[in-house]
Amino acid sequence: MRYFGCAYYPEYWGLERIDEGARLMREAGINLARIGEFAWCRMEPEEGRGQEQELQGVLERSGHPGHRYRAVQKCFLEMQRICEQLGELPLPQAPVAIVQDYDVLWTYESSVAGKGVDYPGQIYRLHRELYDRHVVADIIPPERDFSGYRLVILPSLVIVDPDLAARLSTFVEAGGTVLATGQLGLRDANGNYIPAPGPQHLADLFGVVIHGGMYLHSHVEPDEALWVPAPETGRAPVALTGVLGSQMVGGRAAVWAADLAANGGTSICKFTDGAYAGQPAIVRKATGEGHTLYAGAIGMADELHSALVGYALSLAGVQPGPETRRHVEVVTRGDVTFVINHTAQSMIVKLGREGRALLGSFRAGAAELPPYGVCIIR
C-alpha cells in the first residue's frame, strides 16, 4: 500500500473542524496523518506528566488513570501476551487487487459531470463487496506488478497507457482475470477524450468497442439544471439483464451507461430499455488461460453489483471466506485465523476448520464472539 500523508493540528483549528478535516483528507487521497508534535508542550507540560487539552485522551485531564486508561491497558497487555504466542506471522495474502490511479481521480474531480462518477466511491464499494466476503484485497497503483494476484479490478480506469495494457494482457494470458467497469480507456494522459472508439489499447483484450456513453441524469424536469439556477438533477436509470455464470441477474444502472458493441467478446448481459436497449451491457472474453469482464455501467443496483463481483471471483478461482453478518471480519495469516466482531451483538461464526483458541472461545469449528469480541485460532 502506498501512503500519502499530511500534518494535522486539531489543537489549533478546534474540535469543530475534525470531521470536515477528515473528509477533505479522504477526498484528497490522504491515508496517513501526523498530529500533535507542535503542541506536545500542552500534552506533556512536565516530564512524565501528560495532560490532554482538547481531545479525550487515555488519561483524564486531572492526570488520573481512569476507565479509558484501564481499557487501553487491558488491550495492550492482552496484545503483548498474544504476540508472544503468535511469533512472526506473514501478512495476509491478497488474491485480488483494485487499481486506483490518481490521474484518473484528478480527471474526474476537475469536471462537473465527472464528479457524479464518484471514482473513490466506486473503489470503496468494490472493497466493501470483497471485505464482506472476507476476501483480502490490495489497493494498488497501475504500475504495480500483477503477477501475485488472481483477479485485478479496474473501476472506471478512464486513462490507460500502453505499458499498463501490455502488462494486463500478459496477466490474462497467464491465467489471471480482469474485471473492468464503467469508463474504460476513453481519455488520454491529459484527461482529454480520445477522438476514436475505446477502450484505448484494450479493445482486443476485452473484445469490445466503446463508442461513448451517456450520463444518466435528467435535466428536463421542472427546476432541473446542470448550471443554473442550481445543479439539481434527477436520474434516468436504465435496466440490464442477463446471466452471470448460472445465475439470472437483473437491475438498473443510475449514473452512466456505455454505448457498447461486442467485438470478439461474448455479451452476457444486455440493456433492456433506454437509448441502448438491446446492446451489450456486460461482455466476457477468454484469452489464453485467463478471462476479462467488462461491465459498461456505473451506479449498478446493489444486488447486480454484488453478483458481478461474485462472478468475477468465481472466474478467477478465488474462494470467499465463511458467511457472516456484516461487520464481522475474518482474516488468516499463516496458520492463524483472526475473527473480529465490530458490532454490539453477540455472534457465532462457523469457520469450517479445526484448531485451538489462543484468545476467545472456539468450539466445534465455530468462534463464539461477544459484542466487539475477538477470537484467534491456531
Q: Is the pLDDT of residue 1 over 90?
A: no
Cis upstream peptide for 322 (omega within 30°) = no
Could you tell me the residue ranges of all domains in the chain? 5-86, 96-316, 328-377
Asked if residue 242 lies in contact with residue 282, where contact means CB atoms within 8 angstroms, the answer is yes
Q: How many CA atoms lie within 13 A of 280 on its CB side?
A: 22
pLDDT in tens, 258-287: 999 999 999 999 999 989 999 999 999 999
Tens of pLDDT, residues 148-181: 999 999 999 999 999 999 999 999 999 999 999 9
For residue 108, how many C-alpha atoms fall within 13 Å in the half-sphere facing its CB? 25
Mean pLDDT along residues 230-238? 73
CA-CA distance, 64 to 89, in Å (whole number)?
37
Report the alpha-carbon distance of residue 42 to residue 54 in Å, rounded.
10
Q: What pLDDT, on a 0 to 100 scale, did the predictor assign at position 245? A: 92
Angstrom CA distances, 22 to 33, 108, 136, 187, 370, stand at: 9, 21, 25, 31, 31
Would the pLDDT of 228 be above 60? Answer: no
The pLDDT, as a whole number, for residue 281 is 97
pLDDT tens digits, 89-124: 898 889 999 999 999 999 998 887 777 899 999 999
Joined together, the cell numbers standing for residue 328 give 464481522
Q: What is the model's pLDDT at position 36?
A: 66
Backbone angles phi, psi at 142, to 5 degrees: -65, -20
Whether 85 has a pLDDT exceeding 90, the answer reads: no
Residues ≥6 apart with Cβ < 8 Å to 210 = 184, 185, 186, 197, 198, 199, 258, 259, 260, 296
Q: Does domain 328-377 have CATH number 3.40.50?
A: no
Other CB atoms within a 10 A radius of the CB of residue 35 amount to: 13
Q: In the structure, what pLDDT confidence band is assigned to residue 231 with cuts at 50, 70 and 90?
A: low
Q: Which CATH class is domain 96-316?
A: alpha beta
pLDDT at 127 over 80: yes
3-state DSSP assignment of residue 232: coil
Pair 295, 308: CB distance under 8 Å: yes
CA 365, CA 19: separation in Å to the nearest integer?
A: 41
Residue 299 CB burial class (10 angstroms; 0-12, 13-18, ≥19): buried
Name the grid cell of 21. 478535516
Share above pLDDT 70 across residues of the chain, in percent, rounded to a whole number? 86
- Please give the share of the chain, as a percent, with pLDDT higher than 90: 64
In 160-207, beta strands by DSSP E: 177-181
pLDDT band for position 252 (cuts 50, 70, 90): very high
Task: Give the closest residue to 124 by CA, choosing from 249, 254, 305.
Answer: 305
Average pLDDT score over the chain: 87
The residue ranking higher by pLDDT, 35 or 142, is: 142
Domains 96-316 and 328-377 share a fold: no
